[in-house]
C-alpha cells in the first residue's frame, strides 16, 4: 500500500493525503457513534448530531431499521 494512503502522523500534519485521511477517519468515527446512538436510542446524542449537521441522522436511522 502506498505511503500516501496511510495517515501515521499527528493531527497537526498538513500533508494533503494526511488531512484527507484524518477527515475520513473522523467522519467514520462520527458515523459509528451515531449508529450506536441510534441502536441505543440515545436521543440526546442524536439531537446533537442532528443540530451539528455533520451526519444525516435520518439516513443512519433508516439504514439501521432496514
Ligand atoms: Zn501526515
Measured in angstroms, how far is the CA atom of residue 5 from the centroid of ligand 1? Answer: 10
Q: How far apart are CA 60 and CA 41, in angstroms?
A: 12
Residue 14 is classified by DSSP as -
Whole-prediction pTM = 0.69
Measured in angstroms, how far is the CA atom of residue 27 from the centroid of ligand 1? Answer: 17
Total length of the chain: 66
Q: How far apart are CA 22 and CA 46, in angstroms?
A: 23
pLDDT value of residue 41: 94
Q: Name the domain count of the chain.
A: 1
pLDDT value of residue 1: 43
Measured in angstroms, how far is the CA atom of residue 2 from the centroid of ligand 1? Answer: 13
8 A C-beta contact, residue 36 and residue 49: no
pLDDT value of residue 7: 62
Give tens-digit pLDDT for 3-61: 555 566 777 888 898 888 888 988 899 999 999 999 999 999 999 989 988 788 999 88
Amino acid at each position: 500500500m502506498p505511503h500516501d494512503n496511510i495517515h501515521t502522523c499527528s493531527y497537526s500534519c498538513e500533508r494533503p493525503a494526511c488531512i484527507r485521511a484524518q477527515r475520513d477517519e473522523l467522519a467514520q468515527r462520527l458515523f459509528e457513534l451515531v449508529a450506536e446512538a441510534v441502536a441505543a436510542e440515545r436521543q440526546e446524542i442524536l439531537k446533537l448530531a442532528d443540530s451539528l449537521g455533520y451526519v444525516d441522522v435520518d439516513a443512519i436511522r433508516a439504514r439501521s431499521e432496514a
